Amino acid sequence: MEKEIIIKPIYRFKDFTSPLINKIFKSWGIWFVFFLAFLMLIFNIIFFFDNSIYTNESIPTINIIIPLLVFIIFPFSFYFGLKKNYNNNKILKEKTTVIYTKDGIKTIGESYNNFIQWSQINYIKEHKTFFLFKNTNGQESYLNKNFFSQKKLNDFKTLIKNLGY
């Protein structure tokens, strides 16, 4: 009989958001926008100490709006959007069993039963706290390492290494 790695993940909000936040903040575009907003914020602060930066004696409205959007509104809307998606996702609230074998991944929940062959997965990349799966359709899935015991985590790493990932 082949060896099976069985996990029973319990998805918490942190488990749902941490891979997404990790991916977003590794994007250079996000850091560029933060850098520009930070520069605008610095110029606004300097304005309060030296009115000679602007000729018309008032801060342009856009210099106030953009840092406000980047540092306050975007993070809060992102957080509340993730919270809403998490709360509305009934599958994450179900008791789930995931079985990893040399043939594929079987996911069994209260309302679904799914099997994915390894040939449908293009690559698996290990990160510090999770694994990133990318399938042939281009969709990404995340598997948090804290769902595994240390022995099962080592067995899983051996399995994906033996499969060529």
What pLDDT is attached to residue 133?
93
Instruction: Kindly give the residue spans of alpha helices, DSSP state H, lying in the chain.
Output: 13-24, 28-49, 61-68, 74-88, 90-93, 150-162
The total domain count for the chain is: 2
CATH number for the domain including 122?
2.30.29.30
What pLDDT is attached to residue 88?
92
What pLDDT is attached to residue 56?
59
What pLDDT is attached to residue 58?
61
What pLDDT is attached to residue 1?
35
What pLDDT is attached to residue 160?
92
Statement to judge: residues 46 and 80 lie in one domain: yes
What pLDDT is attached to residue 8?
92
What pLDDT is attached to residue 49?
64
Which residues does residue 105 pair with via DSSP β-bridges, in sequence order? 100, 116
Statement to judge: residues 67 and 107 lie in one domain: no
Residue 82 CB partners (closer than 8 Å, separation 6+)? 13, 16, 17, 20
Domain that holds residue 105: 5-12+93-162
Statement to judge: residues 71 and 118 lie in one domain: no
Statement to judge: residues 29 and 73 lie in one domain: yes
Mark the ranges of the chain whose per-residue pLDDT is less than 50.
1
pTM for this prediction? 0.71
Statement to judge: residues 119 and 57 lie in one domain: no
